[in-house]
Structure 1
Amino acid sequence: MESAVPVRGLKERWWRVFDMRIGALPLPVYLVLIAVLALMTAHGKLAADLPTGIALVAVGGFTCAELAKRIPWIRHIGATSIFAAFIPSMLVYYKLMPEPITKAVTTFTKQSNFLYLFIAAIIVGSVLSMDRQMLVKGFVRIFIPVMSGSIAAACVGTGVGVLLGLDAKHALFMVVVPIMAGGVGEGALPLSAGYAQILGVEQGPLFAQVLSAVMLGNIAAICCAGLLNYLGTRRPRLTGNGRLTIAQGHDDDVASESKGQSFEFDVSSVAAAGATAIALYLLGVLSHQYFDWPAPVVMLVLVVGAQFFQIVSPRVRGGARFMYGFFSTAVTYPLMFAISVAMTPWGEIVTAFHWVNIVTAVSTVLTLVLTGFFVARWTGMYPVEAAIVNATHSGLGGTGDVAILTAANRMELMPFAQIATRIGGAVTVMVALGVFAYWR
């Protein structure tokens, strides 16, 4: 009996060590993974399969986030997102990341396409967790701050660019508009292609200019999101802590029609929620193949309709809430690390770091964010949340939405962010190309 006491004490001390975390990884598991991956890399045995890919992006993403958390002050302005989104890209560009790791992460990321799995899980999970009346109010109202912010940002950004010596046309169409165009695939590419067709020139140089502005806007939006999150902690009355619209009367996150219904769930409910998310995403993909509609937007419309008409059962909605929590906690930083290694061109970011471009881009994003902040109260929304959604309008598409909402610690806003990014970006591109053709 006497020898059992120190043994139990030793076991409990080990458990305390095991409960120490680097991100979502227990410290001993984190150290073992680093050792195993290092040995695989040294011996040329590093594969790009699913288990190895998950281990690589988990270790990389959580390491970047953990380093950022240790830096005083800047950790409050989205440093974890900035580190995970851009430091790996910098390491790849300067060849400081071992080539086998870069190749394995790139192959895994592009073949698995798990960015869209993440977006599907976050959108479906967050929408099915919302009160349906609050959801509808938010979707209707969010167009007002996004639209007013876009107009104000276009005027202020162009004006600042002209004051700093840029031509008005260049400032508007090469810096300001790309920031609000919805990212790379849906924004920079069609925008530069349209410019090239109108001017009768090659697309490549125009795409490089447009892409650099998109990158600058994304970095500024991440910083703004971090500051808004910090503001929300200091001024609680300005934020709904992830809820966009202000409730009438008491807090009514749970709708009256759901009273008495059980949201208890089991493993099969989580699996059902995951299957629902994948089915809705594939319907979006099918609509893109047949009608060229944006898959994430179609998925968003379908899940909002499912929630509004109460098509999904309360048990599966409970599973969706758990699915959302898992992806937002355990997958965000690994995903950002993977995207940074595989798809973020650090060279384009460095090219854009001219002080005139930086000031113009920052003034554009700040105007967009501040307009959303001050317009919010008139439309019954929380200022911090409305400003964060406006910030996603200047993000790098789906990747930017993830980084901005992570910096803001409000992944619940992903459905509204998709509206600002996808629909707002598409409108921006169409209007900009029309004006550009007329102005030329």
Structure 2
Amino acid sequence: MMKSESKFTLMGLPVWIFAILSAIILAATYLKVLPKGMIGAFALMMVLGTVLNLIGNKTPIIKDYLGGGPIVIIFASAALVTYKVLPKEAVENVTTFMKAGGFLNFYIAALITGSILGMNRKLLIKASVRYLPAIIGGVIVSLLLVGITGALIGYGAKEAILFIGVPIVGGGMGAGAVPLSKIFGTGMGKTPAEMLSIMVPAVAMGNALSIVVGGLLDRLGKIKPSLTGNGALMIDSSKVVVEEKEEEEKIEFKKLGIGIFMAVAFYTLGTILHKYVPSIHSYAWMILSVAAVKIMGIMPRKYEKAAHQWFQFVMTNFTAVLLVGIGVAYTNLSQVISAFSIQYVILVAVTVIGVAIGSGVVGRLVGFYPIEASITAGLCMANMGGTGDVAVLSASKRMKLMPFAQISSRIGGAFILILASILLKLI
């Protein structure tokens, strides 16, 4: 028994212990006595995330080509809601925990703060100035391809660009499709609700395909190692002079507490700045604030390490939990299914593939690894903002690129709103 336990565990526990604890949580769920709030939501999400992650990582084809665990967690969780397998009370509890409870923001705050402060300072400076061209390259190629394809298959070039291409690369739902529906509705004499009914399926399906393509790009990187930095964005990152020798970090409980405090403080700073400059999303302000602190070198290194340790703890232990929440609270499986038609699927696929190709090519020209550029500057423009960033980076196994993914979703999303206004006048 000891030998078998050492070979296979779930959440670090022997299977029989995990099974007993999970049975308690599932029994409470279906007896409708699961504790409300964080405790109940966290418990159920841990069980589902662990089991679904195992299924995804062990299933042939899915594990090799479609992203493995992350994609199974998201869509299986969404299916449990759509087909009413989970009790309504459990779904509401998880949704509240993710949205009103702010668990998504809590997770992303840890990733942004820790990953930026944990980066090499010179590398951050060099990478940032090259990133915008990769975003723009991806958007241009994507919209050109979807317009040409729309004209060729009878959907219409203008309709394909405005109603499918632009919403997909627009930074998600709240920061993308919703304001775009107002911009297009005003320009076309339609209500935002009418525009949203056209755009939402494109955004949802684009997000789904972005996750799949992220998994495929990870697979491509294994076949063609020259195309990837295995999580490093810049090709010449190995040439960047290291500012100081890093000793191996010891996990310290006090450092984890410091890391939590720094993450929530920087997130709060982002919300303050967003209040006075609302045109820039609070996540974008947070990225700019943390990056400014890192670039200026004003944070003592030991505190940067504390933030980095907390980021690693959250990424290691909470990612599967969060993906369940994304599936339950943010993924509407009915919208994705209802949008399926040959024309629509082709146009969404062309948009997602186009943005990945464009960003990869331009990214290579400015000194990035093509696969990492395609994932961050490309797919993270085509997904559903913060939730999509987590899903795409999980599927491609490149979670440490979260700061660049957030630049795509937030700053890139703001760029798309400006571009949409111009396109509407032109076409």
TM-score band by shorter chain is: over 0.9
Specify the SS of the correspondent of 1:259: coil
Residues 6-37 of structure 1 deviation map (CA, whole Å, 9 limit, x = unaligned): xxxx6x45xx5277333566534431232112
Match of 2:168 among 168, 173, 179: 179
Paired residues of 1:19 and 1:26 also in contact (CA < 8 A): no
Paired residues of 2:267 and 2:286 also in contact (CA < 8 A): yes
Matched, 1:30 2:18: yes
Q: Any residues of structure 2 matched to 1:282-301 within 5 Å, and which?
A: 282-292=268-278, 293-301=280-288
RMSD over aligned CA atoms reads 2.0
Q: Distance in 1 between matches of 2:203 and 2:185?
A: 18
Q: Distance in 1 between matches of 2:322 and 2:413?
A: 23
- Report the AA paired with residue 220 of structure 1: L
Q: Distance in 2 between matches of 1:25 and 1:147?
A: 46
- Could you tell me which residue of structure 1 aligns to residue 388 of structure 2? 400
- Report the AA paired with residue 346 of structure 1: L
Q: Any residues of structure 2 matched to 1:267-286 within 5 Å, and which?
A: 267-286=253-272
**Given the superposition, is the C-alpha separation of residues 26 and 284 from structure 1 closer, same or farther in structure 2, using an over 3 Å criterion?**
farther
Q: Any residues of structure 2 matched to 1:9-88 within 5 Å, and which?
A: 12-13=2-3, 17=5, 20-23=8-11, 26-76=14-64, 77-88=66-77
Shift of 1:216: 1.4
Paired residues of 1:263 and 1:317 also in contact (CA < 8 A): no
Shift of 1:412: 1.1
Specify the SS of the correspondent of 2:181: helix
Paired residues of 1:183 and 1:396 also in contact (CA < 8 A): yes
TM-score, structure 2 as length reference: 0.93
Unmatched 5+ residue regions in structure 2?
Answer: none
Matched, 1:375 2:346: no
Match of 1:139 among 121, 128, 143: 128
Q: Distance in 1 between matches of 2:61 and 2:245?
A: 43
Shift of 1:387: 1.2
Matched, 1:323 2:316: no
- Could you tell me which residue of structure 2 aligns to residue 7 of structure 1? none
Paired residues of 1:61 and 1:333 also in contact (CA < 8 A): yes
Number of aligned residue pairs: give it.
Answer: 424
- Could you tell me which residue of structure 2 aligns to residue 206 of structure 1? 195
Shift of 1:355: 1.5
Match of 1:93 among 77, 82, 85: 82
Paired residues of 1:192 and 1:203 also in contact (CA < 8 A): yes
- Could you tell me which residue of structure 2 aligns to residue 5 of structure 1? none
- Could you tell me which residue of structure 1 aligns to residue 179 of structure 2? 190
Paired residues of 2:233 and 2:373 also in contact (CA < 8 A): yes
Specify the SS of the correspondent of 2:125: helix
- Report the AA paired with residue 285 of structure 2: V
Q: Any residues of structure 2 matched to 1:299-310 within 5 Å, and which?
A: 299-310=286-297
Shift of 1:417: 0.9
**Given the superposition, is the C-alpha separation of residues 224 and 17 from structure 1 closer, same or farther in structure 2, using an over 3 Å criterion?**
same
Unmatched 5+ residue regions in structure 1?
Answer: 1-9
- Report the AA paired with residue 163 of structure 1: L
Q: Distance in 2 between matches of 1:152 and 1:44?
A: 50
Shift of 1:42: 3.8
Paired residues of 1:281 and 1:299 also in contact (CA < 8 A): yes
Q: Distance in 2 between matches of 1:260 and 1:86?
A: 40
Percent identical residues: 32
Q: Distance in 2 between matches of 1:311 and 1:29?
A: 46
Shift of 1:321: 2.4
Match of 1:242 among 207, 231, 234: 231
Q: Distance in 2 between matches of 1:296 and 1:37?
A: 34
Shift of 1:266: 2.4
Q: Any residues of structure 2 matched to 1:347-366 within 5 Å, and which?
A: 347-366=334-353
Shift of 1:275: 0.8
Match of 2:332 among 318, 337, 345: 345
Q: Distance in 1 between matches of 2:421 and 2:46?
A: 41
Runs of 4+ in structure 1 off by over 4 angstroms are 23-26, 260-265
Q: Distance in 1 between matches of 2:297 and 2:257?
A: 19
Q: Larger C-alpha radius of gyration, 1 or 2?
A: 1
**Given the superposition, is the C-alpha separation of residues 42 and 221 from structure 1 closer, same or farther in structure 2, using an over 3 Å criterion?**
closer
- Report the AA paired with residue 288 of structure 2: V
